[in-house]
Chain A
């Protein structure tokens, strides 16, 4: 119940306060969301496999977001920002698909 409330609170807070991200941080938001999505899908899979651990989830979520943002930052500094972002998105995308496939297999046995 608490996670659902957390989700709802996050969405509502976003809608009510409509926080605007500083322009400097804007390039990192999409990649951070992809990284966070990876952590969330991984958590769902672990939940299905009865391996879920909230501390692992929190740590993986935060480290994913920070590392993804950091890689984009480093890429920007090196002048290969878009290429590095692509790499990050590819890796995270594969992970998201693999985890989603595992969840699907567990639910539908197919």
Chain B
């Protein structure tokens, strides 16, 4: 039995042959030398080789084990990262919320606390205003068209200022310090916005004294007279609750004039 292979082996398929000669041929060799016959399993040599085998397996197992924690650690680090970012995001959102509240508070305090500034805004037509006042309804009479000129309205508004008006609006257009009333190409313009008859003029102030004082002015008498001639219609009525809007932004913007410092 020195050579277990037979010619039939050669004809077999490769895989079959592998399966048939699974055991190393050497095990079948009959040895003649003194140590060759050693069929003892219980030898140091066998033990050493098996120990080596066990070591290999252990190394592989440990390495696979230690590789897993690495990826797990990475995962954990990522999760921790995400959590940390979420926490910081939440913190920042809270901070942002607090700051927003603070801003709102400050804005409110700015708006509320300074009455002098508010007065100034009303005075310069920067903000809408309400209160008692008089209301003038003016329209052209049935006889002649275009009898109300810009000069008439200018003098009327001037008369109202004289009579003690604190805020005036013509057809809803607030008269501020930069406002103008003029006629261009037959169209009446207030604050550069076209308006037309009938005109509704609101003047805030003490209703009674406004009415009285305006009636006594030259302008007031003139309008009365014109209305009697049916040239125009002219109505004046006092009210406790009137409202005027703020002037448009472009009528409130100054580019060149600067306040003199220290001027009270």
Contacts and interface: CB of A to CB of B under 8 A. Distances in A.
Chain A binding site: helix, strand, loop or mixed by DSSP?
Answer: helix
A53 B42 contact: no
Interface residues on A, range: 35 or more
B226 interface: no
Interface string A1-45: 111011111110111001111000010011011001100101101
A94 interface: yes
Interface in B1-47: 15, 18-20, 22-24, 26-29, 31, 35-36, 38-47
A18 B54 CA distance: 13
A73 B20 CA distance: 28
Interface string B52-76: 1111111111110010000000000
B49 A29 contact: no
Contacts of A36: 52-53, 56
Nearest to A61: B49
B47 A6 contact: yes
Given A51-B39, A94-B15, A6 B51 contact: yes
A10 B26 contact: no
Chain B binding site: helix, strand, loop or mixed by DSSP?
Answer: helix
B48 interface: yes
A9 B54 CA distance: 8
Interface of A: 1-3, 5-11, 13-15, 18-21, 26, 29-30, 32-33, 36-37, 40, 42-43, 45-47, 49-62, 91, 94-99, 102
Given A45-B23, A56-B26, 15 more contacts: A14-B58, A29-B60, A33-B60, A42-B23, A42-B24, A46-B27, A52-B27, A53-B27, A53-B31, A53-B36, A58-B45, A98-B20, A99-B22, A102-B22, A102-B23
